[in-house]
Chain A
Amino acid sequence: KNQVEQSPQSLIILEGKNCTLQCNYTVSPFSNLRWYKQDTGRGPVSLTIMTFSENTKSNGRYTATLDADTKQSSLHITASQLSDSASYICVVSDRGSTLGRLYFGRGTQLTVWP
């Protein structure tokens, strides 16, 4: 069964600290993996998208890694800011059906305290 599991479910850190969010997936055949940021009451906004051949991708203070062999990804946030408080969603797409589909994780709820 194709699944995306994220950990931790929630995380509280102090402003200025770094943190790492985890994503494990069983989706096959793999097409790409995306990280989205979803602010409370808003729609998800894309942070990164990585294909099979990409190990690392950065977007400002966000750095995503992908290990396609172990089917794991992480999102590292550097020097956190209050505005980083949001849900971070891992999304994996397959190439199984003719036009692909997306599998969503439940997200990690990050809270940054001053």
Chain B
Amino acid sequence: EADIYQTPRYLVIGTGKKITLECSQTMGHDKMYWYQQDPGMELHLIHYSYGVNSTEKGDLSSESTVSRIRTEHFPLTLESARPSHTSQYLCASSESLDASAGEQYFGPGTRLTVT
């Protein structure tokens, strides 16, 4: 199993709260990703990073922000949670900077529910 971790696994929070979803990996990978997945739907890339101090927006527009201060850590923050943010958030990492090459290793995900 891949050494990539996400916390919390489940989070139920009220509208307007600020939340941070944690993601860390111990494989030394430079490239990291955040995906959003709704039930029965495909994964959508919302953020990625090539390495420390690098962050890019993905294909799906998201109100979340990310930071990459350390190689192993790639947290995602929502400043003001809304019910539309309810979803599963998956973090991933890969050895290669080229998304088409090599494996992507996924964390277990965070199931976020905003009430």
Residue numbers of A with Cβ under 8 A of B are 4, 9, 31-32, 41-46, 49, 89, 93-95, 99-102, 104-107, 109
Contact = CB atoms under 8 A, between A and B. Distances in A.
A106 B109 CA distance: 17
B104 interface: yes
Contacts of A89: 42-43
A109 B39 CA distance: 11
Interface string B12-48: 0000000000000000000000000000111111000
Contacts, number: 61
B100 A100 contact: yes
Interface in B27-80: 40-45, 59
Contact of A105 (B4, B42, B44, B97): B42
Contacts of B40: 9, 106-107, 109
Interface in B87-113: 90-92, 97-101, 103-104, 106-109, 111
B41 A106 contact: yes
A45 B45 CA distance: 17
Given A44-B106, A100-B98, 8 more contacts: A43-B4, A43-B106, A46-B104, A89-B42, A101-B45, A101-B100, A107-B40, A109-B40
B98 A99 contact: yes
A94 B100 CA distance: 6
Given A43-B90, A49-B103, A102 B45 contact: yes
A104 B99 contact: no
A107 B42 contact: yes
A95 B108 CA distance: 28
